Amino acid sequence: MTQYVYRFGGGVSDGGKGDKNLLGGKGANLAEMASIGLPVPPGFTIGTPMCAVYYDEGAQFPESLKAEVADGLAHIEAVTGKKFGDASDPLLVSVRSGARASMPGMMDTVLNLGLNDATVVGLATASGDERFAWDSYRRFIQMYSDVVLELDHDAFEDALEIAKENKGYYLDTDMTAADWQALVAEYKALVEQQWSKPFPQDVHDQLWGAIGAVFGSWQSERAKVYRRLNDIPAAWGTAVNVQAMVFGNMGDTSATGVAFTRDPAKGDNAYYGEFLINAQGEDVVAGIRTPQYLTLAARQAANAKPLSMEEAMPEVYGELAGVFDILERHYRDMQDIEFTVERGKLWMLQTRSGKRTAKAALKIAVDMAEEGLITREEAIARVDPAALDQLLHPTLDPAATRDVLTRGLPASPGAASGKVVFDADTAEKRAAAGDAVILVRTETSPEDIHGMHAARGILTARGGMTSHAAVVARGMGRPCVSGAGTLSIDAKAKVMRCPSANGTREVNEGDVITIDGASGEVMIGEVPTVQPELAGDFGTLMEWADGVRRLKVRANAETPLDAKTAREFGAEGIGLCRTEHMFFDAARITAVRQMILAEDEKGRRAALDKLLPEQRSDFVEIFEVMAGLPVTIRLLDPPLHEFLPHEEEEFAEVAAAAGVEVDYLKRRAAELHEFNPMLGHRGCRLGVTYPEIYEMQARAIFEAAVSLDVAPVPEIMIPLVATRRELELMKAVVDKAAEAVFAETGKRVEYLVGTMIELPRAALRAGEIAEVGEFFSFGTNDLTQTALGVSRDDAARFLQVYVEKGIYAKDPFVSIDVEGVGELIEIAAQRGRATRADIKLGICGEHGGDPASIAFCEKVGLDYVSASPYRVPIARLAAAQAALGQRGT
């Protein structure tokens, strides 16, 4: 019989940290902490395979699981000495999710399970604290009603706020036992009103309801969005952890908190976290109350008044600090820890590798390598290449004028300006329309995940630096300011207010604000930015990465600024210079159109003569930046229709330049119309029919190259080749132009002629094409389109559905379709090398900056990848990780 339940605590550990796939991250780490002697409340984990069974069986559980869960409960009862459902001294449990990949806040949790009208009295008697018992019961009803019964969460929150207002209370901790008892009665009435049944009193019914809800939350919309954004397969499923409750809400000697062994925002080697006295865990992470600092140094730095844990609970804090060090050494990574103090006794509820910003990831990886805790190779592997994107963009100009509205907590670094929106749906809609938006909420919840992803930054009035908003924002690389307590947010009226020396200031939806996640400042209007400085830890890690990678990294660039930026980011040449982008310049487009609309070679050459000096000038500027490095230049590729005039004014301009009538031009434009231009008269087909176009471009390239003291190595790329003969004809045009320039100037430069492999036929006939071509560059954008028969420009409306239904693992225009497009690349590489052993092979589509695609390029043995300038560092790190992966390091 398949085993699904695994115990931990009380001297028993059925699993450990190596069982993450089976037990989920939380379950594996709970078992591991218990096995190394840390104080972990006993419990059991229902493994991830049950998640698939649950869905396959129509949200039902097999009978065998019920017996295993009963044994698991018996284990907890034996260790705690309490009985589940006992009216005199009841065992209470928590039910939590735990996938193999951390998904903070995305799935459901139920605490204080096992309370009912009878056991709440027993809890009050056994604990000697009636207020604590009734507080726990109201928490349980509220959470169970939300998570399991799916009732209106706001109705319960409103009832609590009204109860406090009626008593003149400000904090939950002001409520008395009698107040909580009255609220419990009101909550039960709300349940019966909304659910048409009384709140469940059978503790076993409660338990199975919660287990089902946690498994069910794996397919919640917020979990699906998070998995999509973080490339987490739906097939992994989640585990469920059932664990004896320990209570942080048993008075002033009890507390709960969240901590990181290093600063997850900056990476400093200093404890970072928050705690609350007389509270339960969700109070900290949900932002219900603004927490206190963990350390004295952090409190003093923030100029906060409430005592830190180091001051308020010095003995327990000392024990906790010791646990931090044990866990960091044991796991050899920065840990994110949840803990509870019950009447002075410390309990560990969770540890996992902590989410961190890109800046922190860099610093922690480099510091740990230099401390000897991990190797340099491990440090390279620890940093997510895609996360480097956070470091490669501007931050606020420190010299700029700032109209500061308020200050909150610096929850996730970086800065962003945008229009204020007050709900996630509006954020998503406005962002899709092209607006930069800042999502402003009293506090965020997991349901806001899509809006948080769409927003440039997040601002909350409540919550600390370990709140949902802060953790998710850091993971996404979004700037976040949390706990801006002076803000009063009215989401329904779409306005936020903030008191100031001159009265109340109002900010309405659509107004522009700027947030600085490094300082916590919130500013009115847009604040200027400055470029980042990529030195220190960034430079160190890049140096280590460059030392292990095999793949060269080039950039896609067609302007001097792009080329300069690429070199600053470490590009080793240009892998794709799109010459058509140069033709769209306003000063040249008329001549380009004159060339296209000309009826004969004479007319085309007249227009090309105007373009030659412009093209030469373009190449001189780029070649100066890339002196001595390879520069791959794609000759004119796009369909002619992209250049044609559409407006009367444009037709008049071209007619005047060409000395012909407007009606004539319109007739020529109609003759050139194509029904499917992406597969029409474009690429090398233009060169075959109008060789003078490629002749002019080749001459411009060679005239520019020979004019420089230190020339680059031009690699002239013929696009959209399907046959050997096409490339042979175009190479002859290029070689003839080269020899003419060399003869005229008396100077020669090294150059190569090759092709872009972007058609399936070219991939399959690569052996004979390599007889002519000296290099192949895989144009994966068009190769994906032609291999899949999918238009990239039109695929957005259905590709996401294809991914969700498992037809494609990822969007094939974002990450290479390894099974289809990848096989074509592999075939072309093998056949090309069989003909020409030293043929140079690279990739220049958008996939060149995608880490998963780079790993594929390493596996196939390509020579280089080419990415947009700002993705060059990402490609450098991904190439190093791919090399280490191939070595098995």
The predicted model gives 558-580 an average pLDDT of: 91
Distance between CA atoms of 880 and 543, rounded to whole angstroms? 10
What's the one-letter identity of residue 575?
G
> What is the β-pairing status of strands 840-843 and 775-778?
parallel
Q: What angle do CA 484, 487, 493 make, to 5 degrees?
A: 135
Distance between CA atoms of 811 and 799, rounded to whole angstroms? 7
Cα dihedral 595/596/600/604 (nearest 10): 20
DSSP string spanning 493-534? TTEEEEEETTEEEEEETT-EEEEETTTTEEEES---EEPPP-
* pLDDT tens column, 290-331: 789 999 999 999 898 899 999 999 999 999 999 999 999 999
The pLDDT, as a whole number, for residue 641 is 67
CA distances from 409 to 127, 458, 482 (A): 36, 12, 5
Name the E strands within 308-456. 335-342, 345-353, 395-396, 403-407, 409-412, 415-421, 437-441
Q: pTM to 2 decimals?
A: 0.75
Share of the chain above pLDDT 70, in %: 97
| Contact assessment for residue 575 and residue 845, using Cβ atoms and an 8 Å cutoff | no
Distance between CA atoms of 48 and 224, rounded to whole angstroms? 17
* Residue 649: band (very low, low, confident or very high) from pLDDT cuts 50, 70, 90: confident
The pLDDT, as a whole number, for residue 48 is 94
The predicted model gives 172-201 an average pLDDT of: 93
* pLDDT tens column, 485-523: 889 999 999 999 999 888 899 999 999 999 998 788 999
468, 577, 847, 857: which is the annotated catalytic residue?
468
* pLDDT tens column, 617-627: 999 999 999 99
| Contact assessment for residue 560 and residue 626, using Cβ atoms and an 8 Å cutoff | no
Which range is least confidently modeled, 15-29, 169-183, 191-205, 653-667? 653-667
**Number of residues that make up the chain:** 889
| Contact assessment for residue 776 and residue 864, using Cβ atoms and an 8 Å cutoff | no
Distance between CA atoms of 714 and 241, rounded to whole angstroms? 61
The pLDDT, as a whole number, for residue 531 is 67
The pLDDT, as a whole number, for residue 399 is 79
Share of the chain above pLDDT 90, in %: 65
Distance between CA atoms of 109 and 710, rounded to whole angstroms? 65
- Quick check: 639 pLDDT over 70? yes
What's the one-letter identity of residue 604?
R
Which range is least confidently modeled, 140-149, 409-418, 513-522? 409-418
* pLDDT tens column, 51-77: 999 998 888 999 999 999 999 999 999
Return the CA Rg of the chain: 32
What's the one-letter identity of residue 213?
A
Q: What angle do CA 749, 561, 476 make, to 5 degrees?
A: 125
User: If you average pLDDT over every residue of the chain, what do you get?
Assistant: 90
The pLDDT, as a whole number, for residue 390 is 66
> What is the β-pairing status of strands 752-757 and 713-718?
parallel
- Quick check: 783 pLDDT over 80? yes
Q: How many CB atoms lie within 10 A of CB 709?
A: 6
* pLDDT tens column, 266-297: 899 999 999 999 887 766 665 567 789 999 99
Name the E strands within 658-723. 713-718
Known active-site residue 844 = yes
- Quick check: 471 pLDDT over 80? no
Strand (E) or helix (H) holding 132? helix 130-147
The pLDDT, as a whole number, for residue 514 is 95
- Quick check: 796 pLDDT over 80? no
The pLDDT, as a whole number, for residue 851 is 93
Half-sphere exposure (CA, 13 Å, Cβ side) for 478?
27
Strands of the sheet containing 272-277, edge to edge, are 292-293, 272-277, 255-260, 335-342, 345-353
If you search the block for the tokens 């409306």, which residue do you land on? 797
| Contact assessment for residue 627 and residue 711, using Cβ atoms and an 8 Å cutoff | yes
Residues paired with 256 in a beta bridge: 276, 340
The pLDDT, as a whole number, for residue 586 is 65
Which range is least confidently modeled, 247-256, 474-483, 578-587? 578-587
Distance between CA atoms of 131 and 136, rounded to whole angstroms? 9
CA distances from 737 to 536, 610, 699, 700, 702 (A): 47, 17, 5, 9, 8
CA distances from 695 to 633, 702, 731 (A): 14, 11, 10
For the record, the structure tokens of 634 come out as 């794609």
For the record, the structure tokens of 323 come out as 């646990």
The predicted model gives 125-133 an average pLDDT of: 92
Look up residue 128 and give its DSSP letter: T
Distance between CA atoms of 176 and 199, rounded to whole angstroms? 23
| Contact assessment for residue 429 and residue 402, using Cβ atoms and an 8 Å cutoff | no
Known active-site residue 468 = yes
Q: 590-594 long-range contacts, Cβ below 8 Å, gap at least 24?
A: 590/653, 590/654, 590/657, 591/657, 592/643, 593/643, 593/644, 593/645, 593/650, 593/654, 594/654, 594/657, 594/658
* Residue 337: band (very low, low, confident or very high) from pLDDT cuts 50, 70, 90: very high
* pLDDT tens column, 3-55: 999 999 998 889 887 899 999 999 999 999 999 999 999 999 999 999 999 99
51, 480, 577, 844: which is the annotated catalytic residue?
844
* pLDDT tens column, 373-382: 999 999 999 9
DSSP, collapsed to helix, strand or coil, labels residue 259 as: strand
